[in-house]
Structure 1
Amino acid sequence: MPDKLGDSLDRAVESAFTRPVPKSAQAQMKYLVKQFKGTKAAAQALGVTQRTVERYVVGKLKRPRKELAARMEREVKKRWQPQVRARAKKQAATTDGIVVSTRARFGFTAAPGTTDDARIRHITQALPPRWAQQLFDARDQGATEQQLLDIAAQGLGQMYFRDDGRRARDLMVEFTDVEEIEIEL
């Protein structure tokens, strides 16, 4: 299954973390109990019993099953270093922008009578802060993967194919069959 753009955005922000995310099940559970302000809320968020959460906190249980381990890691990363996360997003959205590296099918149509059939291309392109802002805002508002891809396609079309408005102004870019996509801050 190809990488998802939303997951890649999350990994890019996580690369800005200044401290490592807790690794052990006990440390992760303790962190989640603290974040949720109690074992009951943590248990509800993870879909387990309150007693199970308590056993992980005191160290009686040490190895969660695969699904629970993935949920715990996802919930911890979602809440880990919120100020660092916000600062990284703000910097990308105001000054630095992002770099999109993708292997996908690109095609485009231009003026009547001219077309270029879609083909697989590998493109690495820096996108200015306005595109980073749009992607982060859409991700934070719960946009679907397709909506995120549409924003990325607009950005790649503008910066890569139209050279930020200096050529091919009427070019409409199609961005499909994403094989891989990676975002860097």
Structure 2
Amino acid sequence: MSDHEQQAAPRRGKVLEALARAERKVFTRPTPKSANAKVKFLLTRAKGSAKALAERLGVSRRTVERYRAGKLTTPQKRLHAALVEATESEWQPQVRAQAREQASTSSGMMVEVTAYVGFTCSGSSDDGRIRTITTPISPTYVKQILELQEAGATEEDLHPIDAEAITESYFTEWGTRAGGLRADFTHVQSIDFQF
């Protein structure tokens, strides 16, 4: 892959990656391990179309057919990453859907974030700084976050709703203190969600 192609390739942000990791943790069975098994699984999802799968992975139809037949076994780094991403995004859709439904209707989810957090509030004495925060997120916010993710939201679209969810549970303790406080986070160093 050329430098231009690497720069042009879409990269998911830290929040979107964290949501994908959280979904992978709810799998009840391991994903296929070998490139051959991944290609066979993805072909079932593509209704047997080697052409459609090749376009999705960014390789030729012949390459897909060689992996399916077992003639090729060790993909290059870019193809390996594409196979892993595609397989995990298609694996156990019902299990993922159940976890998402439960989190957005009853249980919520946990978030752990390390980021620069600043405040907007009259009389606030807390200056912005790097903080590590672990807190639950209410089902209402989980539903909004997951709906935005499904709608193709960008990282910048998700930051405000994540900050609002963290503010509600961590800083205002579900509205019992610090009324009117608003926290924003930037420069996310790490973030993890748990259904």
Scaled by the length of structure 2, the TM-score of the pair is 0.90
- Structure 1 unaligned blocks of 5 or more: none
Residue in structure 2 matched with residue 50 of structure 1 by the alignment: 61
1:86 aligns with 2:97: yes
The answer on 1:126 being equivalent to 2:136 is yes
Report if aligned partners of 2:14, 2:191 keep a CA contact under 8 Å in 1: yes
* Equivalent residue, structure 2, for 1:72: 83
Larger relative contact order (Cα-Cα within 8 Å, sequence gap ≥ 6): 1
The reply to whether residue 177 of structure 1 matches residue 181 of structure 2 is no
Equivalent position SS for 1:152: helix
| Runs of 4+ off more than 6 Å | none
CA separation in 2, counterparts of 1:166 and 1:75? 43
Deviation for aligned residue 1:139: 0.5
Identity %: 43
Is the contact made by 1:108 and 1:115 (CA closer than 8 Å) also made in structure 2? no
Aligned length: 182
| C-alpha distance after superposition, 1:94-152 (max 9, x if no partner) | 111010101111121212x5442201111100111111111111111001111112111
CA distance in 1, matches of 2:19, 2:67: 30
Letter in 2 for 1:122: T
Q: Which residue of 2 aligns with 1:143?
A: 153
User: 2:121 maps to which residue?
Assistant: 110
Q: Is the 8 A contact 1:103 1:121 kept in 2?
A: yes
Distance 1:174 1:48, change over 3 A: same
Residue 6 of structure 2 aligns with which residue? none
In the alignment, does 2:71 pair up with 1:63? no
Tell me how far apart the structure 1 counterparts of residues 31 and 124 of structure 2 sit (CA, whole Å). 51
**Aligned pair partner of 2:31 in 21, 25, 50:** 21
Instruction: Give unmatched runs, 5+ long, in structure 2.
Output: 1-12
Post-superposition Cα deviations, 1:57-89, rounded to whole Å, max 9, x if no partner, equal 010000010000101111111111111110010
Distance 2:64 2:144 in 1: 38
Scaled by the length of structure 1, the TM-score of the pair is: 0.94
The separation in 1 between residues aligned to 2:104 and 2:181, in whole angstroms, is 26
What secondary structure, in the 3-state scheme, does the structure 2 residue paired with 1:116 have? coil
Q: Is the 8 A contact 1:109 1:115 kept in 2?
A: no
